[in-house]
Each structure stands twice: as C-alpha cells, then as structure tokens.
Amino acid sequence: MTEHAIIMRAVNKYYGAFHALTDIDLTVQPGERIVICGPSGSGKSTLIRTINQLEAIESGTITVDGVELTAGGDNVAKVRRDVGMVFQSFNLFPHMTVLENCMLAPMKTRKVSRAEAKATAQHYLERVKIPEQADKYPAQLSGGQQQRVAIARALCMKPRIMLFDEPTSALDPEMVKEVLDTMIDLAREGMTMLCVTHEMDFARAVADRVIFMNKGVIVEENAPEAFFGNPTNDRLKNFLGQIA
C-alpha cells in the first residue's frame, strides 16, 4: 500500500490558448472523500478527468497509487484499471444488457473468466440495489437506475479510487437521492472518492475535504464545517450564496 492515493504536482492543462488548469497541487490520502465544486468552466471536471488521463496534461506530474501517469509505458492503462469513473450522462453501452455492461471490462482488461465476471457483476448490482434489472437494456431503465448501473459497472473493476463527474446533474430531482445514497454507502465502506458535484448536503455528509475551483485554480480547500461555515474567499462566498 502506498502512502498517497493521488499526488498532483504543478499540473497545467490548456485547450488551445485557454488555460483550463493552472498549477494544480493536490494530494489525496487513501480512503479520503473529496468534493470539488465551482462555477461551470472552472476546470473541476477537467481536473478529475486528468487523473485517468481522459484529458492529457501539458505540464506537471500526476501519481496515482504510486504509478506516475506521465512516465509512459503502460502506466496509463495500469492507472485506468484501478480508477473507476462515473459520468454525468451515464454512458452505459446501449447495445448491451446491464449485466454485459458490467462484465465487459473485467473480462477484457482483468482477464477474469465469464463466470467470475458474472458473479462479480451480480454482486455489485445487488449492492446498488438493482439485481432484478440485470437482463434489461439501459434504455429500459430510469435515469437513476442507469446511473446506479454505471456505478456498479465501475465497481466491477474493483477500483481503489472512484471519480464522479457530476453524477446527479442529469437526473430528475426524485432520482437524485437514490444515486447519492449509493455514493454515501460507498463512502462509508472506505472508498477513496473524488466527486464533482453541486450537492452540498452530500458534501456535508460525507466529504473529508471540500475544494472550490475558479478559473482553473484551486481557490479554497477545507473541511466541510470550515468550508461552509467560514468561507474566506469572496468568489466562494458568492458561489455558496447562489446555490444555497
């Protein structure tokens, strides 16, 4: 077991001339739950997408579980096997059943047998409380159910870190809770989690640290009580005033 789950050092990311991430330094301990918030375009999604290199960075280093992403070789593949991701738009594979969605990656990248992949898939579908939907296609499920399948699909890879990119933003209000409850369960079991979300109740309930980003910079970083109770940054005060 390495000491740190994630270490980001002086990370910079550009989209053409747009400076999306500026000198990001962030260290995450194993088991830590971090919530990242900020106005749209502040770079919060970009930040977590650099951790499994869905976005390449221009400078700096990112080390995940002791593996340096930028060092080449098959490091990126190694990191992706250990880092699960849940997207705003679910991104389930529509031509596969729920079960097949959960079995594909373990069979292809972890080389587990079909029987084992199926058992693992059923186990995690049970945990996100939709085992009865296993043979349906994603389009037959509600948004909340689809997102829970997406969480199960990521868990089937037995990741050590989970990234959530606005997992409830595309959901109808009545479905937000079922997804947040699933995430809270996961947090209680000690999963290392980074969540980009505007669900501040969720942040208060589970986060060890809340990070506020603005214009590609980490502006404020604090435990939830201090973050919400005593914000120092003006931009953050303004932001909290608007979403509360």
Q: Which residues bind another protein (CB under 8 A)?
A: 52, 54, 77, 80-81, 83-85, 87, 89, 91-95, 104-105, 108-109, 139, 150, 153-154, 157
**Contact in structure between 55 and 44 (CB atoms under 8 Å):** no
State the minimum distance, in angstroms, from the CB of residue 9 to another protein.
23
Kindly state the smallest distance separating residue 108's Cβ from another protein, in Å.
Answer: 5
Distance CA 94, CA 109 (A): 20
Shortest distance, CB of residue 170 to another protein, whole angstroms? 11
- 109 or 233: CB nearest another protein: 109
Q: Which is nearer to another protein, 85 or 171 (CB)?
A: 85
Q: Which of 92, 42, 79, 45 lies closest to 216, judged by CA?
A: 42
Give the Cα separation of 62 and 235 in Å (integer).
27
CA distances from 33 to 38, 71, 97, 109, 205 (A): 17, 26, 31, 27, 10
- Shortest Å distance, C-beta 56 to another protein: 11
Cα–Cα distances (Å) from 13 to 36, 119, 126, 151, in that order, read 17, 40, 39, 27
Nearest to 146 by CA among 198, 85, 91, 201: 91
Supply the minimum distance, in Å, between the C-beta of residue 220 and another protein: 28
Q: Which is nearer to another protein, 29 or 140 (CB)?
A: 140
> Smaller CB distance to another protein: residue 54 or 205?
54
Residue (89 or 113) nearer to another protein, CB:
89
